[in-house]
Amino acid sequence: MYELIVFDWDGTLMDSEATIVQCLQKAAADLGHVVPDEAQARDVIGLGLHQAVARLFPEADEAEVDALANQYRRHFLDPERPPSPLFPGAGELLETLASRDYLLAVATGKSRRGLDMELQHTGLGDFFHYTRCADEAFSKPHPQMLLDVIDYLGAEQGRTLVVGDTEYDMQMAANAGSHAVGVSYGVHAPERLQKEGALAVFDRLGEIPDWLRSV
């Protein structure tokens, strides 16, 4: 049924939640803003950086949002920062799907520089036929990022499946006329993903290939 599978990155393939939260908190502290707690910072993961910062700091004007985003980048892109690990089974899943000739892509709230850094660290870049980032298109849940992937790869919207951990991923898929499944171990609870149309929610990445055979 599906020809193209589009993955979110943070919270889906990479266990980067703690790093993102810490970088957001450090940026706030550096610039004298109230430091968000972990739950507040977690909830904006998946959005593009500027949209996430604006939602997290609603009192900030445009210049302050830019400054917070730049400070976040400084911490996240620090070459001394330990790399985040992949979730168990991420590499094996991509190998399996590639062997079945699926088109594979990434649509992420990360910047191009941030994603390229992570693809280099993990060695997963060769699995993906195309990647799209939030500084290249409108942020999720807007469908542009996904539609750009679909158009570039010549796929069909109805035969495209998004795999993500936030309601923003589910909404992006619906807004593009595509389908989505969720993972239970990421940022948003399974109930939020199901409410936004997730066809299934998986506890382990390794469950996805068998599910794909069944649909």
Dump the DSSP string for 15-29: --HHHHHHHHHHHHH
Q: What is the CATH number of domain 4-15+87-214?
A: 3.40.50.1000
Closest CA to 98 of 7, 199, 178, 186: 7
pLDDT 10s digit of each residue in the chain, 215 long? 999 999 999 999 999 999 999 999 999 999 999 999 999 999 999 889 999 999 999 999 999 999 999 999 999 989 888 889 999 999 999 999 999 999 999 999 999 999 999 999 999 999 999 999 999 999 999 999 999 999 999 999 999 999 999 999 999 999 999 999 999 999 999 999 999 999 999 999 999 999 999 99
Q: Which helix (H) or strand (E) holds 162?
A: strand 160-164
Domain 17-76, CATH among 1.10.8, 1.10.3470, 1.10.150, 1.10.10: 1.10.150
Query: Does the predicted model carry a pTM greater than 0.75?
Result: yes
Structure tokens at 202: 């998986």
155 φ/ψ sector (left φ>0, alpha ψ -120 to 50, else beta):
beta
User: What ranges do the domains of the chain cover?
Assistant: 4-15+87-214, 17-76
Enumerate the active-site residues.
8, 10
According to the model, what pLDDT value does residue 129 have? Answer: 98
Label the pairing between strands 130-133 and 103-108: parallel
Query: By three-state DSSP, how is residue 176 classified?
Result: coil
